[in-house]
Structure 1
């Protein structure tokens, strides 16, 4: 049989203290959650992005021995659309290739972007003499006939920024796009599908 409290028996003070502490902690958690939610909704933090701003084929050389050399200029822009938070970008590395033949790796030292600002990074990618198999050589010949060379740009960088009371937020920014560069040194702007995806 459960033991009942008599008329002169009271709850132990320790139990009252634990109950009061739990109640206070519950109220603080609720208030904290409301404050964070209001701050998040007010600031509306946005994930920083990287994208190809413009690109240009500077030179391309291809001979009868199926050797190819080229140089391309690629400008990658880092955007921070947050109005109050600095964004840091680091571990940036993108590979420029033609039909899986690596041309160059575009790297940058860690850098910061001020709130509501952007920064353009100018890369000049210059290949060594690249030996091509027959299929790749045929693809180059076709590209030269069409006056457009298609290059692949793949890789990632990381970003970190502080969202008020939420704390530091980190993302990986993946870039995987195709650049169709005219061989007459025409600059292309904002090539399609050349904006980062986050993970």
Structure 2
């Protein structure tokens, strides 16, 4: 007799197995659950009715999207990819940090301002002086000169003696002048043969003064051609000398004063010594 082993009865749950669902069950780690089909249907209907835009709202949203897109075009990618950057944050990032001006720059600006103000005031003062006072330069002239000695020790060594009377005049009506430094030089054909310094002196407005200058030449070496020309002029009773002067003049108008250099030159024609006198002269003065 054979023993038939009966299989264990199956449970009702195994016979009525549910078909697999289209939607997977979310894992416990996920943050949100997947809604059912019926819930998805009602949610979509509700969103469609609630988010149906009006024409004005559409324009406002488009304009905001365009402005936000324009703003985000200038914003660089954040350092952390999951960091959300809003338009307000991007605008703050675009602003640069204001730097305070250093005290050195302020001091430099103040010094430059004071310098330019003083420079402008000085220019206005000088302009007023020139327009109101009309300053003129002193004049160098001569009315008398005497050629006392001319002789040669050797063909190249020259000795001479000349007395020159210099007339200085101040043509200004409102300015006093002072000759602080004055040097007179005697030339023969551009060869320096004597030098004489003058003591400082002053002249008031419209005043004329006379200074006697004694030029002495001792063993002055001349080029042979110039020495021969001088001997020829002495024999012809016409000796041509040149007197040049360089002066530092200070003009004063009360407390105001200014200085400048003055150059004078006189071309002399003298008769032969020992009683050589002034025959003709041409004088000019310039700054």
TM-score (norm 2): 0.50
Identify the match of residue 55 of structure 1 among 133, 136, 145: 145
Identify the match of residue 259 of structure 2 among 143, 146, 170: 170
Identify the match of residue 90 of structure 1 among 175, 180, 191: 180
* Counterpart in the other structure of 2:230: 140
Q: Say how many residue pairs are matched.
A: 166
The DSSP-based 3-state class of the residue aligned with 1:136 is helix
Equivalent residues of 2:240, 2:269 under 8 A apart: yes
Equivalent residues of 1:156, 1:175 under 8 A apart: yes
1:121 Cα deviation after fit: 0.6
Identify the match of residue 239 of structure 2 among 149, 153, 163: 149
More strand by share: 1
Unaligned runs of 5+ residues in structure 2 are 1-119
Equivalent residues of 1:54, 1:189 under 8 A apart: no
Larger Rg: 2
Tell me which of the two structures has the higher relative contact order, counting C-alpha pairs closer than 8 angstroms and 6 or more residues apart: 1
* Cα displacement string for residues 34-85 of structure 1 (whole angstroms, at most 9, x for unaligned residues): 9x74x75554432222233432211222356443211001111221122333
* CA separation of 1:139 and 1:114: change in aligned 2, threshold 3 A: same
Q: Following superposition of structure 1 onto structure 2, how do residues 1-199 of structure 1 map, counting pairs within 5 Å?
A: 37=128, 41=131, 43-62=133-152, 65-163=155-253, 167-184=256-273, 185-188=275-278, 191-192=281-282, 194-198=283-287
2:280 and 2:186 map into 1 onto residues whose CA distance is 17
More helix by share: 2
Could you say what the CA RMSD is over the residues aligned between the two structures, in angstroms?
A: 3.1
1:152 and 1:128 map into 2 onto residues whose CA distance is 18
Equivalent residues of 2:270, 2:280 under 8 A apart: no
Unaligned runs of 5+ residues in structure 1 are 1-28
TM-score (norm 1): 0.69
